[in-house]
Each structure stands twice: as C-alpha cells, then as structure tokens.
Structure 1
Amino acid sequence: MARRANDNPGSEHDDSHGNDDRNSNDRNSNDGRERESGGPPLIRVLRTARAEFGELTGLEAESVSSLDRDGEGWALQVEVLELSRIPDTMSLLATYEIRLDAEGHLTGYRRTRRYERGRADRS
C-alpha cells in the first residue's frame, strides 16, 4: 500500500507538531466556502455543471477541456462518450459547450463537435 509523506510520523511533512514546511493557509484557503470574489469555488462549479449536464442528457462528461468565466457566468467545454464501440478507438465522442450562470448552474448546452476517439484534429 502506498504511504503519503504526511502519514509517516517522523516525516518532514508531519504537521501534527506545527512543523509542516508548507503554508497551511494556502492548503485550506478554499475549503468549500465562497471565494473572495463572491462567486462559488471553481471545483463546485465543475461538479455542479457535470451533474446537471448528466441529469439533462443522460451522458457523462469524461473530461473538461476548457473553462472560462465571463461577465454573466461560466462557459465549459466537456468531452462526452456518445457511442461505445469495439475497438475503443472507434468509439464516438463529442464536445459540448455548457453555459452556466454566475452561481454555476446550467443555463444551456450544445454539441459543437463529434469525432472518433482514435482520430486527431486536422491542422
């Protein structure tokens, strides 16, 4: 079983005695509370977007390929498996653009691209 450095009682990263060489304020500065800018934490935005998209479409986002914030909310691009095939390189994937409001809730989505997993974009 792998052991993390801070699981080892004499480790240099053991913070049980306040000797941690990392700044504990940096690690705990965004533990689910609102960010200083007044918006939701980024991880909550991503989780909410993926969950709401999945509920609406029945599709699961495999990855988030971009995330941008504008004056009205958020825009994400996610990669989704639309049709599983054998071999896996022939599976059909799609890129969806997802729009979110300032609180991180889905306001709309659209498919922008569909492609086989094993094919690269043409340059």
Structure 2
Amino acid sequence: MARKTTSDDSEDVHSASNQQPPLAAAQAAAIAIEHLVELTSKHVQGVTCMEPTEDGWLVEIEVLEDRRIPSSADILALYEAEIDLDGNLLAYRRIRRYGRGNTDVGGNERQ
C-alpha cells in the first residue's frame, strides 16, 4: 500500500539532503593538522591515533618540537586536537614530549 507524502515528510527529506555528510577520518586528520600547524608552526610527523567522539574527532598528532644534530636526538611531542563535525578546532593540548629514539609512543598513551 502506497503511503501519502505530507508536507512534513517532504521537509524532512529536503533538510536531510541539504546536510553535509559526516566528517570522514581522513578529512578530520587533515583539518586537525592544518589547525595545529597554524597555531604552533611545528613540523608534523604524522597522525598516531584517531577516535570518533560524540561531537567529532579526537586526533593525536606527532610533531617535531626541537630539531637537533644528529636527528636521532630530536625532541618530538604528541598533541591532541579535538575537531567538531564541521571541521572546527575545539581544543588542542600537548600531552607528551620524548626523544626520537623512544619507541613506546602513540596510541593515546598518557604519562
């Protein structure tokens, strides 16, 4: 049996079609990196962890804090960036600093 379309139904369909798709993980990572570089002027090494939140994404980014010679003596840091579903930066914080040779890093490990 066919269902009658009401004006309320057409408004729901119309508003749903105007909404942007949710922010994908790769997009959230790229946006988080852009924001972090803009605010800190640090060189990003990569994304070490991502997880969805109720309001967007939590992105963990590894950056070069202090370049040294030899490069194995560089100081790196992990930053967390919170991105909402529209790609806005909600917050960021440095959560850890360590030497490049330290291999027990990433995966949202806090110490």
Could you say which residue in structure 1 is the equivalent of 2:40?
Answer: 57
| Alpha-carbon separation, structure 2, partners of 1:55 and 1:47 | 12
RMSD: 1.8
Does residue 1:121 correspond to 2:104, yes or no? yes
Which runs of no fewer than 5 residues in structure 2 stay unpaired? 1-19, 106-111
Greater helix content: 2
Could you say which residue in structure 1 is the equivalent of 2:56?
Answer: 73
Question: When the two structures are aligned, how many residues end up with a matched partner?
Answer: 86
| Residues 26-59 of structure 1, C-alpha deviations (whole Å, 9 max, x = no match) | xxxxxxxxxxx93123322221111111111111
User: Do the aligned partners of 1:74 and 1:104 also contact (CA within 8 Å) in 2?
Assistant: no
Does residue 1:83 correspond to 2:66, yes or no? yes
Moved over 6 A (4+): none
User: Do the aligned partners of 2:67 and 2:75 also contact (CA within 8 Å) in 1?
Assistant: yes
What is the DSSP-based 3-state SS (H/G/I as helix, E as strand, rest coil) of the residue aligned with 2:65? Answer: strand
| Alpha-carbon separation, structure 2, partners of 1:80 and 1:121 | 15
Which runs of no fewer than 5 residues in structure 1 stay unpaired? 1-36
Task: State the TM-score, normalized to the length of structure 2.
Answer: 0.70
User: Do the aligned partners of 1:83 and 1:92 also contact (CA within 8 Å) in 2?
Assistant: yes
Report the residue type matching 1:114 in the other structure. Answer: R
Q: Which has the higher contact order (CA 8 A, sep 6+)?
A: 2
Greater strand content: 2
Does residue 1:94 correspond to 2:77, yes or no? yes
Could you say which residue in structure 1 is the equivalent of 2:30?
Answer: 47
| Alpha-carbon separation, structure 2, partners of 1:104 and 1:57 | 18
User: Do the aligned partners of 2:66 and 2:74 also contact (CA within 8 Å) in 1?
Assistant: yes
What is the DSSP-based 3-state SS (H/G/I as helix, E as strand, rest coil) of the residue aligned with 1:54? Answer: helix
